[in-house]
A and B are shown apart, each in its own frame.
Chain A
Amino acid sequence: MRPQPSTIRVVIAEDGVLLREGLAGLLERFGFQTAASVGDAEALRSAVAEHAPDLVITDIRMPPSYTDEGLRAAVELRRAHPGLAVVALSQYVQHRYAADLLDSGDGRGVGYLLKDRVVDVEDFIAALRRVVAGGTAVDPHVVSRLLRRRRDPLASLSAREREVLALIAEGHSNAAIARQLVVSEAAVGKHVGNIFTKLHLPQTEDTNRRVLAVLAYLRSDELER
């Protein structure tokens, strides 16, 4: 992992001027440094080459075709710059986007969030910090949809275990989960252990691996569809 500089340097790619400016203001407010803010994928590539940022925040849907330019650029950039943290903002839930992003690099330091999430300022900044630190941030909406889609393999889980699984999938640590559910960290650990046993997943210590394991499991399920 590359050394963390004191301030996090960010490149923003977003075609809506208002939101781009809003994001820059938001990041500045929380001590990030906006190295460049651009309006399309081509400019994003050159800005990353020029500024070598720590984090890229990119809209998925950008000109010229308004489909997935931002996503393709993000995947490409992560291949070219291993360790570059990328958070992609999406207008709507698209599992393939989340899967493509998580597959890029080693699955560390990526985020897939719905665009509207930026207005929950503190949560958004926390997600960015988590991603920069090598973690994962997956939109709760995406996770809940994935969990809901296939009840059968998860039928064996208790309600509380599902709750924990959802929080794991969003990228939270055991400590964070314990805080949110107002239980002890040990209790969370026990739930996590149960989940992995019930879902036949080998347990590891790595937060990131846990998310990947969960998502990989759900994705393999998606492929069957």
Chain B
Amino acid sequence: MAGVREGGPRTALEAVFWRRLPISGWPWRAAAYLITTLPVAVPVSVVLASPWLVLLDRLAAGSYQVGTVVALVLCGVGVVAVCGPLVAPPLARLERVRLLLVDRRPTGAGHGGATWPTRTPWPTRARRGRGATGWWSRLRAHYTDPGTWREVAYACLLGTVAPVVTTAALLVVLMVGVFILSPLLVRAQPPGSAPVALGFGHVATVGQTLPYVVGGVLALPLVPYLLTLLAGGHAAVARALLLGGQVERLRAELVEVSRSRLRLADAFEAERRRIERDLHDGAQQKLVSLTLQLGLARLDLPPDSPAAASIAAAHEQAKQMMDELRQLIHGIRPQILTDLGLPAALADLADQCPVPVRVDADLPGRLPSQVEHTAYFVAAEALTNIAKHSGATAATVTARQAGAVLTVEVSDNGRGGADPQRGSGLTGLADRVAVAGGRLLLSSPDGGPTILRVELPCDPNHPPFE
């Protein structure tokens, strides 16, 4: 089987209108798809369509007893309603894999065509059962999921229409083959046997097969189109029913994921504040008190006593620990930010930067805690980068609030060329900003200047950016 060229059609339906179709691999793929349809479809027919087949049989036999018909219809509906949702998901998984034979488009999951498209397997799929646990609620969620019923619809089509149409198409192909080979068939007959039946008539001699051969040869070029068209049609239905809901489901899940990410970020922020407060009110206070006691004890000991050296060492160590603890607390959440807000904290940052920094922070009031912290983090990272890499002699930090958007801009007169690809912490910054629902813009041409601009929604639950 020839591989499908890059740039060629991506689905069997597209391939039907492709010039190179007859010499491409598409007809073979289509044939493989159609042939494998039958062994998949027949068991489905047996499970889901048996009451309907019995009904058809009765009707065909001229049996019109109302009671029987009603019973069979109810039975048919019941089987589909109860068994359908159980049979359809594994079938749908198989069909999505088979679909790759004739549909090379990326699936809704956003992956390349080479990846198996999958849905989250039942029962973990039960999105609506969030919060509710237990087998029953998951089952209910499964039975009420529109995706499940799309799969059931596909199973019904596969169990009824698909075998009929596919068989018919394969018979046509078989017939074309038989027509073309008919002279051989006639010659292979032992002399004196009955004429060979060939579709529309009977032939007894090789000469009589001529119209069939001509017809078969004329029809032969159409066979690839027939196969590809049919497989393409089937694939389109399969894609619509099995993957159509995927896109909208993914969109819904994306929204949910963004929201939960936001909730997580909020929870982290709250946790950070709690830890900062706990450390400050607890460990830090106790450590200061301890160090103070040691300092006092030191005074009361004669300088040449054996204890004096140990107490002095303990006092020094306690002082170092105080310093480390203060820095730790600062790293979790700077106290000046908690107490006095963003402008004061930015001024403090600027004070500590080895490069002279001008701060212009004019804000109408306090912002949500997470917004403040993200803005502070951005400015801190940017100033660190400036001090480390830019070679700048001056920098500016501007913070402004316009409507529901806080804009923080950090610029310097350094050499520029800041590149997120080279991992200068810019990627981490962008992630941090994205979590807060904001966006980051960087302009850093070689030779400078570098401008880093971050826009943060002041109410992260209603992000103004898509």
Residues of A that sit less than 8 Å from B by CB: 16, 18-19, 21-23, 25-26, 29, 61, 66-68, 91-96, 115-116, 118-122, 145, 149-151, 225
Contact = CB atoms under 8 A, between A and B. Distances in A.
Interface string B57-100: 00000000000000000000000000000000000000000000
Given A18-B286, A29-B299, A94 B292 contact: no
Nearest to B323: A116
B322 to A, nearest CB: 6
A225 B351 contact: no
A94 B336 contact: yes
Contact of A119 (B286, B291, B336, B344): B291
B292 A93 contact: no
Given A92-B336, A94-B344, A149-B351, A121 B295 contact: yes
Q: Is the interface of A mostly helix, strand, loop or mixed?
A: helix
Contacts of B295: 119-121
Given A18-B285, A22-B289, A119 B340 contact: no
Contacts of B248: none
A160 B319 CA distance: 28
B318 interface: yes
A93 B348 contact: yes
Contacts of A145: 351-352
B23 to A, nearest CB: 76
B351 A121 contact: no
Contacts of B288: 16, 18-19, 22, 115-116, 118-119
Interface string B364-385: 0000000000000000000000
24 contacts: A16-B285, A19-B285, A19-B289, A21-B289, A22-B288, A22-B289, A22-B292, A25-B296, A61-B339, A67-B340, A68-B340, A92-B335, A92-B336, A92-B348, A94-B348, A116-B288, A116-B326, A118-B288, A119-B292, A119-B319, A121-B299, A122-B299, A150-B356, A151-B356
Contacts of B323: 116
Contacts of B286: 18
Contacts of A26: 292, 296
B342 interface: no
B70 to A, nearest CB: 78
Contacts of B298: 121
B309 to A, nearest CB: 17
A86 B347 CA distance: 26
Interface string B328-351: 000000111001100010011001
Nearest to A67: B339
Contacts of B319: 116, 119-120
Contacts of B6: none
Contacts of B347: 95
B229 interface: no
Interface in B291-337: 291-296, 298-299, 315, 318-319, 322-323, 326, 334-336
Q: Is the interface of B mostly helix, strand, loop or mixed?
A: helix
A219 B296 CA distance: 36
B366 to A, nearest CB: 11
B119 to A, nearest CB: 51
The residue among A93, A116, A118 with the most chain B CB atoms within 10 A of its own CB is A116
Interface of B: 281, 285-286, 288-289, 291-296, 298-299, 315, 318-319, 322-323, 326, 334-336, 339-340, 344, 347-348, 351-352, 356, 358-359
B322 A119 contact: yes
B358 A225 contact: yes
A186 to B, nearest CB: 32
A25 B297 CA distance: 11
Given A29-B296, A121-B299, A66 B339 contact: yes
Contacts of A149: 351, 356
Given A22-B292, A94-B348, 11 more contacts: A16-B288, A18-B289, A61-B339, A93-B351, A96-B344, A119-B318, A119-B322, A121-B292, A122-B299, A145-B351, A149-B356
A174 to B, nearest CB: 28
B342 to A, nearest CB: 14
Contacts of A93: 348, 351
Contact of B292 (A92, A96, A118, A151): A118
Nearest to B322: A116
A122 B292 CA distance: 11
B293 A22 contact: yes
Contacts of A121: 292, 295-296, 298-299
B357 to A, nearest CB: 9
Contacts of B359: 225
Contacts of B334: 92
Contacts of B296: 25-26, 29, 121
Nearest to B325: A116
Nearest to A145: B351
Contacts of A25: 292, 296
B411 to A, nearest CB: 16
A61 B356 CA distance: 29
Nearest to A116: B322
A93 B339 CA distance: 13
B376 to A, nearest CB: 14
Contacts of A21: 289
A61 B338 CA distance: 11
Nearest to B285: A16
Contacts of A91: 335, 339
A149 B347 CA distance: 11
